[in-house]
């Protein structure tokens, strides 16, 4: 009986064979290449590397933890299915943010829901009065962000929370840099107005 050919996993060199680096230390480009070749372990490293950032974006845009968790799962599922078509013209993180932002915008277009009030983010400060004040501030901020349109909310979160450049935000949202700056300016004005009214 002829010997069966090894599986793709058997033929694939070890991820840890890159100069003694651990899998978690490999650059995105190497992990993406391996994932595009069907290496689920490499993709899992990318998921662990970016899941918190993607969740932060989704919960900021959708305001609901459950919806955000669903959007994160959909984002990574879409990324896994499409990673073979990732051409590397943008950073992997930019590509991933774009998938997540599109998922959130589609969700908001289908059923706009108010952004949640992330009082759980205040944490336990050990001082009941300080904790109450922190929760109240978060409540006011959440209500102010809720008044922004999705088109204003997305660039605000990507730029101010995620710290991306204008060019990266433009690439993620599929608009020009001047459009990003214009939307950000409107978002900041609306946010300031909402916060002033809440004080």
Give tens-digit pLDDT for 47-86: 999 999 999 999 888 888 899 999 999 999 999 999 999 9
- CATH placement of domain 15-113: 1.10.1740.10
Give tens-digit pLDDT for 135-191: 676 677 777 777 788 888 899 889 988 889 999 999 999 999 999 999 999 988 887
| Dist. CA 10–CA 5, nearest whole Å | 9
Q: Where are the domains of the chain?
A: 15-113
Give tens-digit pLDDT for 19-33: 444 555 578 899 999
Q: Is the pLDDT of residue 117 over 50?
A: no
Please tell me the pTM assigned to this model. Answer: 0.66
126: number of CA atoms within 13 Å, CB side?
A: 0
Cα-based distances in Å from 41 to 50, 67, 93: 15, 26, 18
At 7 the pLDDT is: 41
Show the tokens assigned to 78.
């879409």
Looking at every residue in the chain, the average pLDDT score rounds to: 79
CA pseudo-torsion sign 155, 158, 164, 169:
negative
**Which position has the higher pLDDT, 197 or 10?**
197
């Amino acid at each position: 009986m002829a010997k069966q050919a090894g599986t793709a996993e058997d033929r694939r060199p070890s991820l840890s064979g890159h100069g003694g680096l651990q899998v978690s230390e490999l650059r995105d480009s190497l992990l993406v290449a391996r994932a595009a070749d069907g290496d689920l372990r490499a993709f899992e490293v990318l998921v662990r590397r970016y899941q918190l950032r993607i969740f932060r974006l989704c919960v900021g845009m959708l305001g609901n933890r459950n919806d955000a968790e669903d959007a994160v799962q959909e984002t990574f599922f879409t990324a896994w299915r499409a990673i073979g078509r990732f051409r590397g013209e943008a950073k992997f993180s930019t590509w991933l943010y774009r998938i997540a932002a599109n998922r959130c915008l589609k969700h908001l277009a289908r059923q706009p829901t108010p952004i949640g009030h992330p009082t759980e983010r205040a944490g336990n400060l050990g001082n009941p009065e300080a904790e109450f004040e922190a929760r109240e501030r978060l409540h006011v901020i959440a209500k102010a962000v809720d008044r922004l349109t999705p088109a204003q909310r997305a660039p605000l979160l990507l730029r101010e929370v995620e710290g991306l450049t204008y060019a990266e935000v433009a690439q993620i949202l599929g608009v020009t840099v001047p459009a990003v700056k214009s939307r950000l300016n409107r978002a900041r004005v609306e946010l300031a107005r909402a916060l002033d009214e809440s004080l």
